[in-house]
Amino acid sequence: MAAAVESKVSGDEGRNKAIACAVFKRLSLDPNKLSSESIGGSDIASLFSNILQLSESKDSLSNEDQIMKWVAFASSFPSEADACLASLDCLNEDLKQKAILLGNGLEPSVADIVVFSAVHSFVSHLVGMAVQKFPNVVRWMDYIQNKEDFGGVFEKIVVSKPDFQPLKVSGDSKATEALDKDSVTNEKKKKALEKESCEKDAQCSISVLNIQIGVICKAWKHPSADSLLVEEIDLGDGSLRQVVSGLAKFYSPEDLVNRRVVLITNVKPGKLRDVTSSGLVLCASNQDHTVVEPLIPPEGASLGEKISFSGYDGKPEDVLNPKKKQLEKITPHLYTDDKGVATYKGVPFMTSAGPCTSSIVKASVK
């Protein structure tokens, strides 16, 4: 979604600040050198290179070749959900027989700090069975987050650990009854956790979003933000909706006028740099975010028509609750397939006239 362009940059800056904070401590660098210049842009490899240039111990950095391999892994960690899962699968396999990525296992390495920071956002949004597919990654992340100081940037990932209370079996019937009681209790706990997981999955399903087709009637530059544009969008209901989008680097206001778009209409209205925004225009972008394009509704689809997803029939919420972070949990699963069809977990964005598309294939959608 285009309005998320600016928030993604903000997320990258927060992640980079966390990396810099932890690596500065590990390399015993002067914290006064921690500045916006040293943090640099959104690229992890460039950030790490900047930090090494500040380090007097660069020449004595142990395992530098192996560290740079993991820095490259972190820097190229994808944004599209299926690619993220494939990368996590490789990381999970690598951690199968070791506690940390590099070193003697007694304390996390610089490589652990960098990779943790890169994958944290995606792993923290995994729920239910998805978490269970990566036990080594989850175990490793729990260890890193309790050993390193990331300056409070990352929320802690809650890891469920089984309770174990040894039972003294004396051979009599009371011990047998106690075992049976524990077995029933454990089964109830298991069912309760499964129910809770299903409820959480429903709360962050695409069905909570109200996604509609609109047309941009008017667009202009944001008065105080060079990266933003303001649009008036007609949803066919006789009123115009004002939306702020991060499209200024990719389109002029004139390029967007009369363009049909796909937007989320039940986000909580808010101000972006003092201008009210009441929606999110969904856009596809390539991996390095150099090409961005609003999703294209099919010809014949009506203004105001709601996008549907086969198998997801829940009722959209009237207004999304930002505290639930539903968008953050849903957007990693939005992407275009190899034919440019916009999908949620592979299920097309469907209208009465066909699917919504983009000219950018295998792109993330935000």
CATH class of the domain defined by 206-365: mainly beta
Kindly report the pTM of this predicted structure.
0.49
Q: Where are the domains of the chain?
A: 8-54+63-147, 206-365
Percent of the chain with pLDDT over 70: 79
Q: How many CB atoms lie within 10 A of CB 225?
A: 17
The strand ranges marked E within 207-317 are: 211-221, 229-234, 240-245, 260-264, 270-272, 275-277, 280-281, 283-285, 292-294
Q: pLDDT by residue (tens digit) across 187-218?
A: 776 666 555 544 455 457 899 999 999 999 99
Contacts of 6 by beta carbon, 8 Å cutoff, 6+ apart: 225, 227, 228, 246, 272
Nearest to 217 by CA among 240, 237, 250: 240
Least confidently predicted of 37-41, 134-138, 176-180? 37-41
Cα–chain center distance at 243 = 22
pLDDT band at 362 (very low <50, low <70, confident <90, very high): very high
8-54+63-147: which CATH number, 1.20.1050.10, 3.40.630.10, 3.40.50.720, 3.40.50.300?
1.20.1050.10
Q: 33-47, 126-140, 217-231, 264-278: which has the minimum mean pLDDT? A: 33-47
